Structure 1
Amino acid sequence: MTAIRNDWTKEEIEAIYNGPILELIYQAATVHREFNDPQEVQVCTLLSVKTGGCPEDCSYCPQAARYHTDIKVHKLLPTDEVIAKAKEAKESGSTRFCMGAAWREVRDNRDFDRVLDMVKGVNELGLEVCCTLGMLTEEQAKKLKDAGLYAYNHNLDTSEEHYEEIISTRTYDDRLETLDNVRNAKISVCSGGIIGLGERDEDRIGMLHTLATLPEHPESVPVNALVPIEGTPLEEQPRVSIWEMVRMIATARIIMPKSMVRLSAGRVRMNTEEQALCFMAGANSIFAGDKLLTTSNPEVDEDKQMFQTLNLKPRKAFKNEESIKFEQIPS
């Protein structure tokens, strides 16, 4: 039985990450089968409920107000419109619905009250509700939890060493503090990063090390490949290769066996065969729908065809909760 560890060293993770690629995929697939159904993939939908105008300077993000991109800024969407989008997502097979707002941090105002109403409404549909709203306090996290929030996404993006090259308007410790606040509020933590930001392999290993040595592994670890957007500082970055994605996914699966590893941004550039490699290496979640906040994503019909070709089945909502309840039933 593979042990769940929070004491990984960078050297151990480096040895895994740099292993022969086919052996690495085999090891990850073996661990994946020990903890998960390899034919099961969770389908998630991500909706931008407030777009653009963000005061941050994240070098990859077209929503930063200081960059000249084609993003159309819009204020917080009406609650009814968001609930309607969530219903559409559920009908298309999604079991998790994530709402993103281009804020630096959550503020205690009417907009936050409206987000709480959105969370309540989506939760009532039987979907796992996730939000990504920037930094938040523990008190705000508890309000989200009380409203029915299941998960909160707050990515580390990259290693602590490379972080200042990508973002200067907040610190790495700010990100870790938000993760602590989310965990303390008993909300499921969703945190991963982006590759293709000009980082080195050491930075990718460093980010994985930070995630794998948190007090608890994130329930969800998104692995994103940069989609360069014209008008951002990283618009000229070369495409990340499929083998780089596979190394990240496989290493994440081996060192965080129970986590959902999400094949996230960059999937639109992958064919079915490349995505199949990622699933073999331990990815067990995707984002569906034609948009990931502001970047393009494969069409829903394409994903349905891929699921049929690969004999994949959608994961049910709240499956982790059901397994916990089952384990607590006395024999």
Structure 2
Amino acid sequence: MDKKTEIRNDWTKEEIEEIYHQPLLELIYKAATVHREWHNPEEVQMSTLLSIKTGGCTEDCSYCGQAARYHTNIKVQALLPTETVIAHAQKAKDNGSSRFCMAAAWREVRNNRDFDRVIDMVKGVNDLGLEVCCTLGMLTEDQAIRLQEAGLYAYNHNLDTSEQYYEEIISTRTFDNRINTINNVRKVGITVCSGGIIGLGESHKDRISMLLTLATMPKHPESVPINALARVAGTPLENNEKTDTWEMVRMIATARIVMPSSMVRLSAGRIEMTEFEQGWCFMAGANSIFTGERETLLVTPNPGVSEDMQMLQTLGLKPMKRETEKVMDQFETWKTSLV
């Protein structure tokens, strides 16, 4: 299909405000149109996220139950054995995931044995033919080079919220720290996964500002997760109100319009959404989800594989194939044409 919507990196705040504040159904219609220009609307990328090191983090992110300073029910878990991680990745592949994400509750990557083990994990998952993603905290350019050489496909480092509201949520690092890590990842050729969370107490202006930062990067993040706050007991934000689904839809639709080629991921918060609500998110341009065993999305509940597959079937959607599978399909089609 001819692509009609250009990719722009020069968006203004006023332009994004105008898009964001449109009447909701008009916004969804426009986002769905852009989505069909750039993506197969029948496909959803299935990603699996595994916490390879849980809890005990020195950061003070107000939304996160893994911060050591908060008293939550999350148990601290040391870095998992490499063999265990590879087994989880194989199961994820068998269940239809094309991307496997590994998360460690670290403030930053340190050059030590644990990082050496993560490098081995990246190599092992890459050998399975999966897109490998990591989220390990702040990262230097040299560390990013090591991950890239091991076969890392993507690095997740969310902005979380706007630059203006950032200090209200986190005081142990700065917004610029986030940008620096994203720049280090981009320099070495690893794709970027970066989005944010709504429901932190931020304003609509903060949400627009966060999207503006992402949409005016020299290259848009290849993946943009939109998360609804998961209210974890024991954290400063545990009593925040549940994020309204229409707010998620509005955010997803705006992200789809201003970053048309990016994968927009419906991330945390799905467990509290009905199929109807998730369907609206897909209609608005979301084309990626986290799925897996009904364990956790890091430390918050996540729908199980069977539930997700049933939902996709109901909505007429199907899991996106891995690039290697697409190549094989093309090869089989070519062989058939020769007969």
Same fold (TM > 0.5):
yes
- Structure 1 residue runs of 5 or longer lacking an equivalent are 323-331
8 A contact 1:55–1:104 mirrored in 2: yes
- Listed as ranges, the matches of 1:13-24 within 5 Å are 13-24=16-27
SS at match of 2:164: helix
The C-alpha deviation readout for 1:5-31, integer Å capped at 9, x for no partner, is 000001100000000000000000000
CA apart distance, 1:317? 2.3
Match of 2:124 among 121, 125, 128: 121
CA apart distance, 1:313? 1.2
Q: Give distance in 2, aligned partners of 1:300 and 1:34.
A: 29
Give structure 1 regions of 4+ aligned residues with deviation exceeding 4 angstroms: none
1:224 maps to a residue whose letter is N
Match of 2:263 among 257, 260, 264: 260
Residue number in structure 1 paired with 2:51 = 48
CA apart distance, 1:248? 0.4
What TM-score, normalized to structure 2? 0.94
The C-alpha deviation readout for 1:188-242, integer Å capped at 9, x for no partner, is 0000000000000000000000000011000000000001010000000001111
Match of 2:28 among 25, 28, 34: 25
SS at match of 1:99: strand
Match of 1:312 among 317, 330, 333: 317
SS at match of 1:208: helix
8 A contact 1:6–1:215 mirrored in 2: yes
Residue number in structure 2 paired with 1:92 = 95
Residue number in structure 2 paired with 1:325 = none
1:216 aligns with 2:199: no
The C-alpha deviation readout for 1:131-153, integer Å capped at 9, x for no partner, is 00000001100100000000000
1:192 aligns with 2:195: yes
Q: Give distance in 2, aligned partners of 1:17 and 1:114.
A: 43
Match of 1:178 among 178, 181, 202: 181
1:209 maps to a residue whose letter is L
CA apart distance, 1:300? 1.1
Q: Give distance in 2, aligned partners of 1:54 and 1:316.
A: 35
1:186 maps to a residue whose letter is G
- Listed as ranges, the matches of 1:62-101 within 5 Å are 62-101=65-104
CA apart distance, 1:247? 0.4
Q: Give distance in 2, aligned partners of 1:85 and 1:2.
A: 39
CA apart distance, 1:75? 0.6
The C-alpha deviation readout for 1:90-142, integer Å capped at 9, x for no partner, is 11111100000000000000000000000000000000000000000011001
CA apart distance, 1:69? 0.2
SS at match of 2:265: strand
8 A contact 1:263–1:284 mirrored in 2: yes
- Structure 2 residue runs of 5 or longer lacking an equivalent are 328-339
CA apart distance, 1:318? 3.8
Residue number in structure 2 paired with 1:130 = 133
Q: Give distance in 1, aligned partners of 2:159 and 2:322.
A: 25
Match of 1:60 among 57, 60, 63: 63
2:32 maps to a residue whose letter is A
Q: Give distance in 1, aligned partners of 2:323 and 2:199.
A: 32
Identity of aligned residues (%): 71
